[in-house]
Every structure is written in structure tokens, then in C-alpha cells.
Amino acid sequence: MLTNFFYNLLVTITAIVPGHYVWVSIVIITVLIRLVFLKPSISMTKMQHKQKSLQKHVEKIKETHKEDKKAEQAATLELYKKEGINPLSSCLPMIIQLVVLIGFYRIFTTVGLGPIKTSLLYSFTPHLDALNSSFFGLDLSWKVMDLVKLGGWSRLALLFPILAGATQFVQALQTKALQPKPGKDKTDSFQNALNSQFTYLFPIMTAYISYTLSSALSIYWIVQTVIMIAQQKYIMTKLEPVVADVNEGVAAQLSTPQITKKGGVVVEVRQKSKE
């Protein structure tokens, strides 16, 4: 079902593109998908940026309730709820990215490029004889490692995994910059160390996977990541004054939330700032 949808979408866009170039269709589809899910992506970045800006308040909560983890979690969740932060909101854009990646992967590995598989086309999908998999002399239906083995001009295909890994590394650095700085807690330190490892490990994995799979998949991966980098950079620039206002509001209205228990029920008591 998923493979059929993306294959028909690819064929439809390719039929419109002059020369029926697959790589142009991949770029167009990637841009369209990012535009459709632009709002969830913006919301995700806002959540991450705001969550980082509230880290000092979270640290105060941890210090206040260091002997009571349940009270600490309740106070932290209450703070996030008040500021409109949902830690799970970042899942949707990641799921979307994974779904699209799987869709293209199945097309390039199981269906293949070249002659059209008419049995997979919808009745309203334009019919073509074949998809043009040429990319400046390189055949995108081939795996990168096979193109490199051919030698000559085909060795330039090595740029695909290099660019895929490099752009993924830039995005990983952006994501790391949005993450809260670790506190004194050992759990936070461990999590930060793990995140630091993934900052370098994931781009290497991306480059390796791109090297072993269809060259066409690298086109999607690179374009997708470049768009996300530009989008995230723009949003972060726009969010600076907003986050400053949020911090001032939290500091002006509240001190660290205090948690007490009455009749076995957790009750939050907020203390107004003296300022």
C-alpha cells in the first residue's frame, strides 16, 4: 500500500518533469512533503527551544525535590504543562521522515527504476514507458558502491554518502544545541554522553547506509536534511525574543514549585516571586 502510493506519486511527478528525470521528481516530492508538514516541524523546534530555555527552572525543581523523585516529576510536568510543552510532540516529524524514507527505499530496492510497472499504477496515474534515472551521467538505479567500482566518472557517486553524512552531522549539531545542558544528576550526565556519541555515530551510519543502497535514496536523504537544516536555522533565529519573554514570564510569576501531600494526594503550591 505504502509502496504503491509513493510509486504512483513518483510516476505522476516524473511525467510532468521535462525529460522525465527521477532525481528532479525526488527533489520536488521532498520539498512538497516538507511544506505539508511544515507546521508540525515548526512546533517541534519551538518545543525543543522552549524546553531548553526552561532548563534552569527544571534544575531548581530537581534541587528542591532531590529526595523525592515523584514530587520532582510532578513539578516538572506541571511546569511543562503551564508553558505548553509536550515532550512527545517531536515524534510526529520523525515518524513522517521515517515513513517517507521507507516508501522510497521500497521503490528503489524492490520495484526499481527504469521500465514502468504498470500493474502498480492507479487508473488515473499517467502512463510512461520508463523513468529516466540518469543524473549527470550517473545511473541512480545503481547502488553507490557499484558505481564507485565502475571507476572513471562514476566514482563521483562517492559524493552521495559523503554529503548525506555531512548534512546529517550539521543537523545533529543543531539538534544538540537545542537540548538542555546536563545538570549535576548522574542520569543527566549519562544521557548527555549518549547524545554526544549519537551526534557523531548517526552521520557515520547515514554515510555507510547511503554507500550501500540505491543512489536515488541518497538524493532524497540529502535534500531532506538540507531543508530541515535551513528550516531549523530560520526558526531558531525567530524564536530568540520569544524564548526571552517566556523566561521573564516564568521568573516574574513563579518561584520553584513546591509539592506537598495532603491525604495521600500530591498538591502543588506555587510561591510568588518577591520581585
pLDDT for position 62: 74
pLDDT in tens, 25-77: 999 998 988 888 777 777 777 777 676 777 777 777 777 777 667 777 777 77
Per-domain residue ranges for the chain?
A: 2-142+217-269
- For residue 113, pLDDT beyond 60: yes
Average pLDDT over residues 207-223: 91
Q: How confident is the model at residue 23 (pLDDT cuts 50, 70, 90)?
A: very high
Whole-number Cα distances in Å, 112 to 12, 100, 213: 16, 16, 12
**Separation CA 238–CA 241 (nearest Å):** 7
Averaged pLDDT of the chain: 76
Distance of alpha carbon 104 from the chain centroid: 17
- For residue 267, pLDDT beyond 50: no
pLDDT in tens, 121-179: 888 888 888 888 899 889 998 999 999 998 888 899 999 999 999 999 998 888 777 66
pLDDT for position 111: 79
Of 262, 259, 261, nearest to 271 by C-alpha is 259
- Top-confidence residue, 90 or 163: 163
* Bridge partners, residue 135, by sequence: 138
Q: Is-contact 157 222, C-beta < 8 A?
A: no
- For residue 254, pLDDT beyond 50: no
pLDDT for position 148: 92
pLDDT for position 98: 78
Q: How confident is the model at residue 197 (pLDDT cuts 50, 70, 90)?
A: confident
pLDDT for position 175: 76
The secondary structure of residue 157, as a DSSP letter, is G
Q: What percent of the chain has pLDDT over 90?
A: 20
Of 43, 77, 82, nearest to 61 by C-alpha is 77
Task: Enumerate residues 6+ apart whose C-beta is below 8 A from 78.
Answer: 257, 268
Task: Enumerate residues 6+ apart whose C-beta is below 8 A from 193.
Answer: none
Q: How confident is the model at residue 82 (pLDDT cuts 50, 70, 90)?
A: confident
**Separation CA 150–CA 9 (nearest Å):** 31
- Top-confidence residue, 92 or 46: 46
Task: Enumerate residues 6+ apart whose C-beta is below 8 A from 75.
Answer: 61, 64, 65, 256, 257, 258, 259, 268
- For residue 95, pLDDT beyond 70: yes
pLDDT for position 21: 92
**Separation CA 62–CA 115 (nearest Å):** 61
